[in-house]
């Protein structure tokens, strides 16, 4: 071989290697400064479409549906039924069998492992395992959790505590408030208010979600572990009034905010009135913030950390409305979640950039088996051989509840939508290497959890 050819070949090989390096670099871009992780609890594909039909009169219009990474995700738990694409679209009842709960699903996303239902930040053998919040803190990032349901409830708790029983709210709240280094927590569960936002001080306070003694310490502003590693405890600052949540975006300095709105279980989904009324028909509680307002305040607080942050935002009551098959309230909760995602996108584009921030929007599982009418196994399908049917929901135009029906009051093992944009987003596309005949490529929730650790390095 002529020496010149050798040289030319070497050049070609070098060129190819450089190309591979660049593309790998693009795929495995690391170190987003900020990660914003948004979870629509119980929100499946049809919940998204229902909200779009009501909001815009057409589907596919949500800001997150335009993201460069769009795929599906499996959500089954260690104690549940493994998702099987073939069975899922041949047996109408398959996805109803042994679905995950929110604790196991959130633990998979927060810690990168499959665990049992009810478990938080623990393996099936009850061994504590680090979560992405603790990982980000070890890298000097600020950390925050925002939810529309109680702050010590399953999803935020999986990012902030380690326990084998999600119902042990007092112990979980202790871990979050008294022991963690988390910089910001916002969520419901206020013991001095009821679900209509009325004070119960002259009646009976309800300490379901936080121990009375811990609550007194919170009220006195004297509780909170060392959040920034300087060896000095950092007490939480309690905010309750909507105005105080709104004021955070104009704050001139960081505050370790514990934001507990003046309402018991959840912002609006539990308010009085006809539970199955159309969206926005029943009187709204004006004294509590909305998810997008809490989220904007949280972003501004965490952005005081020059080294970046990790923020988890949960639209928790989508699940609660779906368990009760409340179409109107489910749409209300979805619209608030959609508005919160738009608020985050606006914030990234005005205060940060997609070159330094990763935004993920997904769900922990589907709730309510929401489908178009006349879906089902087919009348005596087992006898007549009638094919099961999964009909799409029917668009009835803007401000109209779509034609749809709930086929369960529980979670399902259905695949959920997954969207990502920004630094490191491509990484998740490469993980979607399994295929579903209806939803296409999909990744698994534990893979997502592990990838978050990989993406967030020094």
Quick check: 199 and 240 in contact, CB under 8 A? Answer: no
Per the structure block, which two tokens stand in for 144? Answer: 């925050």
Query: For Zn ion, which is the closer residue by CB, 267 or 425?
Result: 267
Q: How far apart are CA 387 and CA 351, in angstroms?
A: 52
CB 450 → Zn ion: shortest distance, Å? Answer: 24
The secondary element (H helix, E strand) that includes residue 72 is strand 69-74
Query: Is residue 333 involved in binding Zn ion (CB under 5 A)?
Result: no
Residue 418 DSSP SS3: strand
The secondary element (H helix, E strand) that includes residue 443 is strand 440-444
CB atoms within 10 A of CB 356: 14
Instruction: Select the span of 104-112, 120-128, 319-327, 342-350 touching Zn ion (CB under 5 A).
Output: 319-327
Instruction: State the sign of the Cα–Cα–Cα–Cα dihedral 418, 318, 356, 104.
Output: negative
Instruction: State the sign of the Cα–Cα–Cα–Cα dihedral 54, 57, 58, 60.
Output: negative
The two beta strands, 434-436 and 416-422, are unpaired
**Contacts with Zn ion in 408-427 (CB under 5 A)?**
none
Quick check: 46 and 393 in contact, CB under 8 A? Answer: yes
CB 411 → Zn ion: shortest distance, Å? Answer: 5
Query: For Zn ion, which is the closer residue by CB, 137 or 319?
Result: 319
Residue 257 DSSP SS3: strand
**Total of chain residues touching Zn ion, rule CB under 5 A:** 1
Closest CA to 321 of 206, 406, 413, 208: 406
CB 316 → Zn ion: shortest distance, Å? Answer: 9
Per the structure block, which two tokens stand in for 445? Answer: 């929730």
Query: For Zn ion, which is the closer residue by CB, 53 or 159?
Result: 159
**Contacts with Zn ion in 372-411 (CB under 5 A)?**
none
Query: For Zn ion, which is the closer residue by CB, 143 or 362?
Result: 362
Instruction: Select the span of 81-89, 119-127, 254-262, 314-322 touching Zn ion (CB under 5 A).
Output: 314-322
Quick check: 348 and 359 in contact, CB under 8 A? Answer: yes
CB 57 → Zn ion: shortest distance, Å? Answer: 29
Query: For Zn ion, which is the closer residue by CB, 319 or 332?
Result: 319
Nearest residue to Zn ion, using CB?
A: 319
Query: Is residue 49 involved in binding Zn ion (CB under 5 A)?
Result: no
CB atoms within 10 A of CB 168: 17
CB 442 → Zn ion: shortest distance, Å? Answer: 21
Query: Is residue 319 involved in binding Zn ion (CB under 5 A)?
Result: yes
Query: For Zn ion, which is the closer residue by CB, 293 or 319?
Result: 319
Q: How far is CA 308 from CA 43, 88, 118, 140, 159, in A?
A: 28, 41, 31, 8, 18
CB 103 → Zn ion: shortest distance, Å? Answer: 10
CB 408 → Zn ion: shortest distance, Å? Answer: 11
Query: For Zn ion, which is the closer residue by CB, 319 or 333?
Result: 319
Query: For Zn ion, which is the closer residue by CB, 40 or 218?
Result: 40
Quick check: 436 and 442 in contact, CB under 8 A? Answer: yes
Query: For Zn ion, which is the closer residue by CB, 136 or 363?
Result: 363
CB 41 → Zn ion: shortest distance, Å? Answer: 7
CB 119 → Zn ion: shortest distance, Å? Answer: 15
Instruction: Select the span of 70-78, 230-238, 265-273, 318-326 touching Zn ion (CB under 5 A).
Output: 318-326
Closest CA to 126 of 71, 79, 89, 81: 79
Instruction: Select the span of 14-22, 32-40, 316-324, 426-434 touching Zn ion (CB under 5 A).
Output: 316-324
Q: How far apart are CA 355 and CA 377, in angstroms?
A: 47
Torsion of CA 178, 455, 142, 239, to 10 degrees: -70
Instruction: Select the span of 13-21, 184-192, 317-325, 413-421 touching Zn ion (CB under 5 A).
Output: 317-325
CB 365 → Zn ion: shortest distance, Å? Answer: 7
Per the structure block, which two tokens stand in for 245? Answer: 């949540």
Query: For Zn ion, which is the closer residue by CB, 192 or 319?
Result: 319
Residues making contact with Zn ion (CB under 5 A): 319
């Amino acid at each position: 071989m002529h020496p010149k050819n050798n040289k030319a070949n070497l050049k070609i090989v070098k060129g190819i290697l450089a190309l591979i390096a660049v593309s790998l670099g693009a795929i495995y871009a690391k170190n987003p400064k900020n990660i914003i992780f948004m979870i629509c609890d119980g929100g499946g594909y049809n919940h998204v479409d229902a909200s779009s039909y009501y909001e815009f009169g057409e589907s596919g219009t949500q800001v997150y549906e335009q993201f460069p990474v769009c795929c599906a995700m499996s959500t089954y738990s260690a104690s549940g039924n493994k998702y099987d694409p073939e069975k899922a679209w041949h047996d109408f009842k398959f996805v109803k069998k042994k679905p995950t709960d929110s604790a196991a699903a959130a633990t998979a996303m927060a810690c990168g492992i499959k665990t049992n239902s009810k478990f938080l930040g623990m393996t099936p053998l009850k061994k504590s395992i680090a979560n992405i919040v603790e990982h980000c803190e070890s890298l000097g990032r600020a950390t925050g959790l925002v939810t529309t349901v109680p702050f010590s409830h399953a999803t935020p708790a999986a990012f902030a505590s380690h326990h084998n029983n999600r119902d042990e709210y007092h112990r979980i709240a202790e871990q979050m408030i008294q022991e963690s280094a988390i910089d910001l927590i916002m969520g419901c569960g206020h013991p001095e208010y009821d679900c209509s936002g009325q004070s119960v001080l002259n009646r009976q306070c309800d300490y379901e979600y936080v121990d009375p003694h811990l609550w007194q310490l919170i009220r006195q502003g004297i509780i909170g572990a060392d959040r920034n590693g300087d060896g000095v405890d950092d007490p939480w600052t309690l905010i309750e009034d909507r105005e105080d949540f709104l004021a955070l975006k104009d704050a001139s300095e960081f505050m370790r905010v514990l934001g507990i709105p003046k309402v018991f279980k959840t912002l609006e989904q539990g308010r009085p009135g006809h539970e199955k009324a159309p969206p926005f028909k029943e009187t709204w509680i004006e004294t509590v913030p909305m998810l997008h307002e809490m989220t904007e305040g949280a972003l501004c607080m965490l952005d005081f950390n020059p080294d970046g942050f990790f923020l988890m935002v949960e639209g928790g009551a989508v699940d609660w409305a779906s368990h009760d098959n409340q179409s109107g309230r489910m749409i209300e909760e979805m619209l608030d979640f959609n508005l919160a995602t738009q608020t985050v996108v606006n914030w990234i584009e005005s205060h940060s950039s997609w070159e330094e921030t990763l935004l993920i929007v997904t769900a922990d599982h589907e709730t309510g088996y929401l489908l178009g009418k006349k879906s089902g196994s087919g009348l005596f399908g087992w006898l007549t051989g009638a094919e099961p049917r999964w009909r799409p929901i029917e668009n009835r135009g803007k401000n109209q509840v779509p034609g749809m029906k709930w086929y369960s009051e529980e979670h399902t093992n259905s695949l959920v939508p997954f969207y990502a944009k920004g630094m490191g987003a491509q990484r998740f596309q490469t993980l979607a290497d399994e295929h579903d005949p209806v939803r296409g490529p999909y990744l698994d929730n534990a893979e997502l959890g592990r990838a978050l650790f990989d993406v967030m390095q020094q």
